Copies of this chain bind each other. A is one copy, B any other.
Amino acid sequence: MKYPPSLVALIRELSRLPGVGPKSAQRLAFHLFEQPREDTERLASAIMSAKRDLHTCPKCFNITDREFCDVCTDPARDQELICVVEEPGDLIAIERSGEYRGLYHVLHGAISPMNGVGPDKLMIKPLLPRVAAGMEVILATSTTVEGEATSLYLQRLLEPLGATVSRIAYGLPVGGALEYADEVTLGRALTGRQRLTR
């Protein structure tokens, strides 16, 4: 008994997805097999049309289906403030917080020599002409080793341009119990303490 070739092909393609191993690819394939044809057609065409319609904004490298993205074309946005993030998903997360009204710049990754990702593989070069003296650049890369390295690299590159370079705050997550915070986070939360005003 062998799998039919089209089932083998489907399992192989599904197992290329991040976080999907051979076992879950098989489970997904059987699931798709059991679904009505309209549902699987909708999935396949959603994949195709997303790939056809979407591209990166030539200014900030956010995902968009227009010439420039919604943020870059919004005149109400603070044009003197750029928030640098690793991935389009990070931008969405910040938008969701509702705390930010400036522009963005999406790097599409973080510097990671271990994985062969140098600064030239990221959208760092197109960031430089966007930064002018007097502007503020917020470095909102992850607080991982790679994100920290990227932040440090950008800081050294951007400060000579006369921009104010800042880093998002480290600290306790809101709703987090002190007891469960790791010691590094707790240390950073103490160092970064803010005076309360009345």
Contact = CB atoms under 8 A, between A and B. Distances in A.
Given A1-B71, A4-B63, A53-B4, A108 B16 contact: no
A26 B88 CA distance: 10
Interface in A16-75: 16-19, 24, 26-34, 37, 39-54, 62-66, 69-71, 74
A89 B34 CA distance: 12
Contacts of A95: 1
A13 interface: yes
Contact of A31 (B1, B13, B18, B39): B18
Contacts of A6: 46, 49-50, 52-54, 65
Interface residues of A, number: 59
A29 B13 contact: no
Each complex incorporates copies of this chain amounting to 2
> Does more than half of chain A's interface fall in helix, strand or loop, or is it mixed?
helix
Report which residue of A17, A64, A91 has the largest number of chain B beta carbons within 10 angstroms of its beta carbon: A17
Interface of A: 1-7, 9-10, 12-14, 16-19, 24, 26-34, 37, 39-54, 62-66, 69-71, 74, 87-89, 91-92, 95, 108
Most buried by B among A50, A89, A95: A50
A48 B54 contact: no
Top 9 closest A-B pairs, CB basis?
Answer: A4-B65, A10-B50, A6-B53, A13-B46, A44-B44, A13-B43, A44-B47, A10-B46, A40-B51
A46 B65 CA distance: 25
Given A10-B50, A50-B9, A51-B33, A43 B16 contact: yes
Contact of A17 (B26, B31, B50, B108): B31
Contact of A30 (B24, B69, B89): B89
